[in-house]
Amino acid sequence: MSSSLFELPAIETLSSSISLRQQDELTLVVIDHPTFRAAFSLQGGQLIAWQPLEQAPVIWLSDNSAFTQGKAIRGGVPICWPWFGPAGKPSHGFARTAEWSLATHEESAEQVTLSMVLQQSAETLALWPHDFTLTLLATLSRDSCELQLTIIGDFSSTAALHSYFHVAQSEKVSVSGLGETYIDKVKDNALCSQSSPQTYHGEVDRIFTHPAAESVIDDPILGRKLLITHKGNSDVVTWNPGAELSTSMADMCNEGYKTMVCVETARIHQPFITTKATPAEMSVRITPLTR
| Annotated catalytic residue, options 92, 107, 146, 264 | 264
Query: Can you tell me the mean pLDDT for 21-49?
Result: 98
Answer whether residue 179 shows pLDDT above 80: yes
Answer whether residue 163 shows pLDDT above 80: yes
DSSP state of 233: -
The pLDDT value given to residue 86: 87
Asked if residue 243 lies in contact with residue 212, where contact means CB atoms within 8 angstroms, the answer is no
- What's the pLDDT band for 45 if we cut at 50, 70, 90? very high
Query: Can you tell me the mean pLDDT for 104-120?
Result: 98
Q: What is the pLDDT of residues 223-249, one digit of tens each?
A: 999 999 999 999 999 999 999 999 999
| Annotated catalytic residue, options 162, 166, 201, 281 | 162
DSSP state of 100: P
Query: Can you tell me the mean pLDDT for 85-107?
Result: 95
Answer whether residue 73 shows pLDDT above 70: yes
Asked if residue 13 lies in contact with residue 30, where contact means CB atoms within 8 angstroms, the answer is no
User: Does the annotation count 107 as an active-site position?
Assistant: no
Q: Which of 97, 77, 79, 74 is nearest to 140 (CA)?
A: 77
Answer whether residue 1 shows pLDDT above 80: no
Asked if residue 35 lies in contact with residue 20, where contact means CB atoms within 8 angstroms, the answer is no
b/e per residue, 243-280, with b = 16+ CB within 10 A? eebbeeeebbbeebbbbbbbbbbbbbeebbebeeeeeb
DSSP state of 245: H
Strand ranges inside 194-234, DSSP E: 204-208, 214-219, 224-231
Query: Can you tell me the mean pLDDT for 94-120?
Result: 98
The pLDDT value given to residue 290: 78
Query: Can you tell me the mean pLDDT for 265-287?
Result: 97
Q: Which of 160, 188, 163, 157 is nearest to 88 (CA)?
A: 157
The pLDDT value given to residue 291: 60
The pLDDT value given to residue 267: 98
User: Does the annotation count 166 as an active-site position?
Assistant: no
Query: Can you tell me the mean pLDDT for 75-97?
Result: 95
